[in-house]
Copies of this chain bind each other. A is one copy, B any other.
Amino acid sequence: MTFWLPVSGEPDHQYDGVWRVTFPRVKALDDALVNRITAAYAHRMAATIRDVARAAGVSPATVSYYLNDTKPLTAETGRRIEKAMADLQFRRNPVARALASRRSRIIALAYPFGVGHESYSARQFIVGAARAAAALDYNLVVWPVEDDGLELAKLAEQGLVDGVLLMDVRDDDPRVDALAKIGVPAALIGRTGDAVTLPYVDIDFDASVRLAADHLLDLGHRRIVLVNGDPDQGNLHGYGPYYRTEGAYRNLMGEWGLEPAVMLCGQTVVAGRAAAGRLLADFPDATAVIVMNELPAPGLTAELIHRGRSVPADISVMSLYSTVNVAAMSTPNLTTVTTPGTELGALGVEALLKHLGGFPVPPVLVTGRLVIGASTGPRADAA
Q: Which B residues touch A99, using CB under 8 A?
A: 93, 95-96, 99
A86 within 8 A of B: no
Q: Which B residues touch A94, using CB under 8 A?
A: 158-160
A357 to B33, CA, bound (A): 7
The DSSP consensus for interface residues of chain A is mixed
Q: Which B residues touch A354, using CB under 8 A?
A: 29, 33
A139 within 8 A of B: yes
Provide the A259-298 mask, 1 if CB < 8 A to any CB of B, else 0: 0000000001110000000000000000000000001001
A127 to B7, CA, bound (A): 12
Q: Which B residues touch A157, using CB under 8 A?
A: 42, 91
Minimum C-beta distance from A69 to chain B (A):
7
**Oligomeric state, in number of copies?**
2
Q: Are B5 and A128 in contact (CB under 8 A)?
A: yes
A58 within 8 A of B: no
Q: Which B residues touch A182, using CB under 8 A?
A: 42
A163 to B42, CA, bound (A): 8
Within 8 A of B (CB), among A113-168: 113, 118, 120, 122-123, 126-128, 130-132, 134-137, 139-144, 155-163
Q: Are B343 and A5 in contact (CB under 8 A)?
A: yes
A22 within 8 A of B: yes
Within 8 A of B (CB), among A1-55: 1, 3, 5-7, 9, 15, 17-24, 26, 28-29, 31, 33-44, 46
Q: Are B132 and A28 in contact (CB under 8 A)?
A: yes
State which of B21, B132, B141 has its C-beta within 8 Å of the C-beta of A364.
B21
State which of B41, B162, B347 has its C-beta within 8 Å of the C-beta of A21.
B347
Q: Are B26 and A346 in contact (CB under 8 A)?
A: yes
A326 within 8 A of B: yes
A204 within 8 A of B: yes
Q: Are B5 and A131 in contact (CB under 8 A)?
A: yes
A128 to B26, CA, bound (A): 10
- A-B residue pairs in contact (CB < 8 Å), sample of 16: A3-B131, A5-B128, A5-B343, A20-B204, A24-B343, A28-B135, A34-B357, A41-B102, A41-B162, A44-B159, A106-B106, A113-B127, A130-B143, A299-B328, A326-B326, A326-B329
9 other contacts beyond A7-B342, A39-B355, A134-B143, with CB at 8 A cut-off? A28-B136, A29-B354, A41-B104, A41-B162, A95-B104, A113-B127, A118-B325, A120-B123, A122-B123
Binding site for B on A (CB under 8 A): 1, 3, 5-7, 9, 15, 17-24, 26, 28-29, 31, 33-44, 46, 68-70, 91, 93-96, 98-99, 102-104, 106, 113, 118, 120, 122-123, 126-128, 130-132, 134-137, 139-144, 155-163, 182-185, 204, 207, 268-270, 295, 298-299, 302, 305-306, 325-326, 328-331, 333, 340, 342-343, 346-347, 350, 353-359, 362-367, 369
